[in-house]
Amino acid sequence: MRVTQSMLSNNMTRNISNSYERLGKLQEQISSKKKFTKPSDDPVAAMQGLGYRTDLNRILQYQSNIGEVRNWVDSTDDALDKTVLALQKIRELTVQASNGTLDASQRDYITREIEQMKQQIQSLGDTEVGGKYIFNGTKTNQRPSSTGFSGGVIELEVYNGIKLQINTPGKQLFEPLVGDTSITPASPGYLDTLITKIKNDDNISAELANMDKHIDNFLSERASIGARQNRVDLMDDRLSQQEVFSTRILSNNEDIDIERAIIDLTTQESVHRAALGIGARIIQPSLMDFLR
């Protein structure tokens, strides 16, 4: 087969064009740090990347949920801790009031201090996290001290099929102490009864056992909160590990080895320069160039 000058020129042009394309792809990979920038570059890797990215996004959402659970649980623990301190203070005042040597004015002073502690406990029952009342069951948009405490459990999914309870309904904890404000007139709570008994000097020492029961209820709930905090920590660690694994898998699928890509680019540049040099030597001036 006769090889013409035109064939040499066309082959050289095509080869140099292909070389430019390879250079462009390598430069694009280095600038984007990705193996491909559109699905057609590597359809299989692109499809796998969709699955890997979905897994990673799901883990990130679970981590966000874990953060929300932690906020609620830690805030609940803090509120219960402060409530226990207030109840212990009320118990100390009750012990003082049970002293038969106190007169009416002294007992009145004690009842006023207990009333302040009651208001403190009531405000703790109104604890908010992110604008939501954490002790009001599922009715998180309603203030318990205004509408009464509601029940119901709130859970968040923290892993595939795994949910954690984030709230502690205050109906069984706070309402027995401060009363039920959801009815009119509001029903009194235990602290109201205690205040009345202290004012009337009515067998006050017998109330110490009742105080201990309320304190024990809160301490028991704090123990449950502690177990829940441990569960949150374990799930947080697990999700952190899963995030590392998923990120590594996604990176292996999509990200380039930058050192290797730079070497490939340098090699391709050398090849390209060689192709240009060889092409220049092949395309020599023809007879027609001299006849012009």
Number of structural domains the chain divides into = 1
Residue 197 has pLDDT above 90, yes or no: yes
Residue 282 lies in a domain: no
Out of 22-31, 48-57, 200-209, least confident range: 22-31
Query: Phi/psi of residue 255, each to 5°?
Result: -85, 145
The runs of H, that is alpha helices, within the chain are 5-32, 43-97, 104-125, 144-147, 175-178, 190-200, 207-254, 258-282, 287-291
Residue 173 lies in a domain: yes
- At 223-241, the pLDDT tens digits run 999 999 999 999 999 999 9
Cβ–Cβ < 8 Å for 114, 122? no
Residue 284 has pLDDT above 80, yes or no: no
Residue 27 has pLDDT above 60, yes or no: yes
Whole-number pLDDT of residue 138: 94
Alpha carbons 178 and 143: distance in angstroms, whole number: 14
Residue 286 lies in a domain: no
Residue 33: band (very low, low, confident or very high) from pLDDT cuts 50, 70, 90: confident
In angstroms, the Cα distances linking 32 to 35, 38, 136, 225, 257 are: 8, 12, 50, 47, 12
- At 96-123, the pLDDT tens digits run 999 878 889 999 999 999 999 999 999 9
Residue 37 lies in a domain: no
Residue 41 lies in a domain: no
When pLDDT is averaged across residues 253-275 and rounded to a whole number, the result is 73
The rounded mean pLDDT for the chain is 86
Out of 83-87, 183-187, 212-216, least confident range: 183-187
Whole-number pLDDT of residue 20: 64
Cβ–Cβ < 8 Å for 159, 239? yes
CATH of the domain at 143: 1.20.1330.10
Residue 33 lies in a domain: no
Whole-number pLDDT of residue 194: 95
The structure's pTM equals 0.77
Q: Which helix (H) or strand (E) holds 162?
A: strand 162-165
- Tell me the residue range of the domain where 180 lies: 53-250
**Helices 43-97 + 190-200 axis angle, to 10:** 10
Residue 144 lies in a domain: yes
Residue 6: band (very low, low, confident or very high) from pLDDT cuts 50, 70, 90: low
Residue 5: band (very low, low, confident or very high) from pLDDT cuts 50, 70, 90: low
Residue 22: band (very low, low, confident or very high) from pLDDT cuts 50, 70, 90: confident
Higher pLDDT, 52 or 264: 52
Which residues lie closer than 8 Å to 286 by C-beta, 6 or more apart? Answer: 5
Structure-token pair, residue 252? 């292996």
- At 130-141, the pLDDT tens digits run 999 999 999 999
Alpha carbons 269 and 266: distance in angstroms, whole number: 5
When pLDDT is averaged across residues 250-276 and rounded to a whole number, the result is 73
Whole-number pLDDT of residue 37: 72
Residue 241 lies in a domain: yes
